[in-house]
Amino acid sequence: MRVLITCLALVLITGCDRNIDQPDCGSMIQPQDYGRFIVDGADGLARHISGTVWYRCAAGQSFRGKKCLGESLALTRSEADAYVREFSEKSGEIWRLPTRDEFEQITESSCDNPAANPNVFPGLAVVNYWTADSSWHGDRFGCSIYMYKGSTYCRQASQIEQPILMVKD
């Protein structure tokens, strides 16, 4: 019984290691600070130090003059896959949905709201984004990342409409 009480006390004291009072990334990251990215201001692409190339706006938006213009698309998981295939065919380059690991590479741990560098991803909405990962719960579910803190969830109903970001293969 004493061991159980001690373990319970430790769990309550340590919590889930979530810092609630983090600053917004927009107020913390200085203008022109691209962090772990090399950006091309003309074409809307950003290369992470890992080599992954990201389109800086959500699907449906276009990058112009340091901003993402237009409305992002909200797509089901199957629509997201179809959109990326069509985008690849039309652009002549292979694009895909990013994996959870790739999203974790762009997530800022010292700030949130959204948990990404606003100089690299301007105007990134604080919502769930589809990832390329499959859910172990079956095809009716997919994985998404919530960009407020960068937390992932793999029991997202595949029929829910969410925006996507894209990476170049």
Question: What residue segments make up the domains of the chain, in order of their start?
Answer: 23-168
Identify the band that residue 42 occupies on the pLDDT scale cut at 50, 70 and 90: confident
| pLDDT tens per residue, range 66-91 | 899 999 999 999 999 999 999 999 99
Whether residue 2 is predicted with pLDDT greater than 80 in this model: the reply is no
Whether residue 6 is predicted with pLDDT greater than 50 in this model: the reply is no
What value does the CA radius of gyration of the chain take, rounded to a whole number of Å? 18
| pLDDT tens per residue, range 96-112 | 999 999 999 999 999 99
Residue predicted with more confidence, 9 or 169: 169
Q: Is the peptide bond before 114 cis (omega within 30 degrees of 0)?
A: yes
Which CATH class, in words, describes the domain spanning 23-168?
alpha beta
Average pLDDT over residues 33-39: 95
pLDDT at 21: 76
